[in-house]
């Protein structure tokens, strides 16, 4: 008479079988044997490449130092009197820190930088807000529109990124001259706005594509229109992308010299970048005033990046991680 296997009691494995924990069981797995090292005791892969890690960090510090040395030279030249800069700003035998160069540059009789920074702000603020508003609307339209011309029109906008400013300088000057926008801030604002739209539309369209569409569908079910969804759903969710685009556009518009040189020529209307070359004398160059004016000019973009750093980084890498 054959033997009949009896079922094992609950909680005990059958003879000759290994206990297998259930999916919902909280019983810990059996400990590793003496010959098998635990995962915590295994050497990390990064520890074997310690010389390579040190080399990478060393190269990164060297590159950062190469980037910051010119700025240190400008800052030291701006903070020290002219007599200490004759033999080079790196000579530290006698160092006198003073803000006199900044005061002289701010109130310069020929090209006061205080007036230039005010003029730059009058140009840069609308040149950042207007393209950001127009490009965000256009980017959302390109993303959700079902028109057949959407793809070729978007490709045409991308191709406009390859057009250099020098190619359109003369036609742009003639058009703005006929419109009466020469030597006015409105002409420069229109130019910066038109020049920023292609890359902003591409950037924001790709960023909007990473947003969850379920939120828009829920808003549609609640009776919201596309414009309401854009203002109350898309824009609040896109603050990192909008901050990144605003920081980039503000920096490019602030540092612009070519378009301002073409469109503005009245001395009282010149922006900050146009006034720096005017601080050079005919027979003498005061490097203290010149470098102080440069520091005043670059202070605004640096401040903007410092304030928007968190949103700027999230916005730049956000649409690349989808």
**CA nearest neighbour of 143 among 197, 203, 209:** 209
Whether residue 255 sits in one domain with residue 138:
yes
Same domain, 301 and 248: yes
> Residue 52's pLDDT is what?
81
Q: Does residue 43 lie in a domain region? A: no
Taking alpha carbons only, the member of 298, 259, 258, 294 closest to residue 279 is 294
Give dist(CA 228, CA 236) in Å, integer.
Answer: 12
Name the residue among 301, 246, 287 with its Cα closest to residue 117: 301
Contacts of residue 175, defined as CB under 8 A and 6 or more positions apart, other chains included, come to: none
Tell me, yes or no, whether 195 and 162 share the same domain.
yes
Question: 301 and 269, same structural domain?
Answer: yes
Domain boundary among 67, 98, 129: 98
Strands (E), the chain: none
Question: Which two tokens mark 162?
Answer: 């390859």
Co-location of 133 and 67 in the same domain = no
299 is a domain residue: yes
In order of 80, 105, 271, the CA distances from 287 in angstroms are 10, 11, 20
Instruction: Give the CATH number of the domain where residue 313 resides.
Output: 1.10.3720.10
Please say if the pLDDT value at position 12 is more than 80.
no
Q: Which of 296, 314, 165 is nearest to 245 (CA)?
A: 314
Query: Does the residue 58 lie in any domain?
Result: yes
Is the distance from CB of 320 to CB of 136 less than 8 angstroms? no
More confident residue, 74 or 120: 120
> What is the three-class DSSP state of 149?
coil
pLDDT, average across residues 261-279: 91
Residue where a domain terminates, one of 37, 72, 98: 98
Mean pLDDT of 55-71: 88
Task: Give CA angle at 182 (178, 187), nearest 5°.
Answer: 95
| Assigned token pair, 101 | 């160069």
- Is residue 168 domain-resident? yes
Residue 191 tokens read as 């130019």
pLDDT band at 121 (very low <50, low <70, confident <90, very high): very high
Q: For residues 162-191, give the mean pLDDT.
A: 90
Of 75, 98, 121, the residue that ends a domain is 98
Same domain, 237 and 91: no
Rounded distance, CA 123 to CA 130, Å? Answer: 11
Asked whether residue 3 is assigned to any structural domain, the reply reads no
Question: Is residue 225 very low, low, confident or very high in pLDDT (cuts 50, 70, 90)?
Answer: confident
State the Rg of the chain over Cα: 31
Whether 277 shows a pLDDT value over 80: the answer reads yes
120 & 231 share domain: yes
Average pLDDT over residues 274-298: 86
Short-list 109, 117, 97, CA closest to 288: 97
**What share of the chain has pLDDT > 70, as a percent?**
81
Residue with tokens 């730059």: 120
Q: What is the mean pLDDT of the chain?
A: 81
More confident of the two residues 313 and 174: 174
Say if residue 177 is in the same domain as residue 152: yes
Please give the average per-residue pLDDT across 47-52, as a whole number: 68
Q: Are residues 165 and 57 in the same domain?
A: no
Q: Residue 259 is encoded by which pair of tokens? A: 């378009």
Q: Which domain holds residue 82?
A: 48-98
Are 285 and 181 contained in the same domain?
A: yes
Q: How many other CB atoms are there within 10 angstroms of residue 47's CB atom?
A: 8
Number of domains composing the chain: 2
Look at residues 74, 68, 84 and name the one whose alpha carbon lies nearest to residue 296: 74
pLDDT band at 185 (very low <50, low <70, confident <90, very high): very high
**88 vs 100: CA distance, rounded Å:** 19
Residue 253 counted as domain residue: yes
- Max intra-chain CA distance, the chain: 121
* Closest CA relative to residue 139, chosen from 199, 222, 55: 199
> Which of 153-157, 165-169, 221-225 has the least mean pLDDT?
221-225
Please say if the pLDDT value at position 154 is more than 70.
yes
Is position 42 within any domain? Answer: no
Domain contains 66: yes
Task: List the one residue out of 234, 44, 226, 211 whose CA is nearest residue 133.
Answer: 234
What average pLDDT does range 53-62 have in this prediction?
88
Q: What is the pLDDT of residue 2?
A: 45
* Calpha distance 104→292 (Å, rounded): 9
My answer on whether 300 and 153 are in the same domain is yes
- Same-domain pairing of 163 and 87: no
Per DSSP, the residues of 194-242 read: HHHHHHHHHHHHHHHTTS-HHHHHHHHHTT--HHHHIIIIIHHHTHHHH
């Amino acid at each position: 008479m054959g033997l009949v296997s009896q079922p094992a009691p609950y909680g005990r494995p059958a003879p000759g079988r290994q206990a297998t924990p259930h999916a919902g069981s909280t019983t810990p797995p059996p400990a590793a044997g003496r010959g098998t090292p635990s995962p915590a005791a295994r050497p990390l892969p990064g520890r074997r490449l310690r010389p390579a890690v040190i080399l990478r960090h060393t190269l990164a510090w060297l590159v950062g130092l190469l980037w910051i040395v010119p700025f240190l030279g400008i800052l030291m030249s701006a903070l020290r009197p002219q007599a200490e800069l004759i033999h080079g700003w790196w000579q530290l035998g006698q160092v006198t820190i003073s803000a006199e160069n900044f005061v002289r540059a701010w109130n310069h009789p020929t090209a006061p930088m205080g007036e230039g920074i005010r003029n730059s702000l009058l140009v840069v603020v609308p040149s950042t807000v207007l393209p950001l508003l127009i490009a965000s609307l256009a980017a959302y339209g390109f993303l959700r529109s079902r028109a057949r011309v959407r793809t070729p029109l978007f490709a045409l906008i991308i191709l406009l990124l390859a057009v250099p400013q020098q190619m359109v300088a003369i036609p742009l000057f003639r058009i703005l001259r006929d419109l009466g926008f020469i030597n006015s801030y409105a002409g420069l604002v229109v130019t910066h706005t038109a020049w920023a739209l292609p890359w902003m539309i591409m950037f924001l369209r790709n960023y909007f594509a990473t947003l969850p569409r379920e939120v828009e569908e829920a808003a549609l079910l609640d009776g919201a229109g596309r414009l309401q969804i854009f203002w109350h759903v898309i824009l609040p969710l896109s603050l990192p992308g909008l901050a990144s685009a605003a920081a980039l556009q503000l920096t490019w518009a602030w540092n612009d010299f070519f378009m301002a040189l073409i469109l503005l020529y009245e001395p009282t209307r010149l922006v900050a970048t146009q006034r720096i070359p005017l601080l050079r004398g005919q027979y003498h160059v005061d490097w203290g005033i010149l470098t102080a004016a440069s520091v005043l000019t670059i202070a605004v973009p640096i401040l903007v990046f410092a304030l928007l750093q968190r949103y700027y980084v999230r916005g730049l890498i956000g649409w690349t991680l989808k």
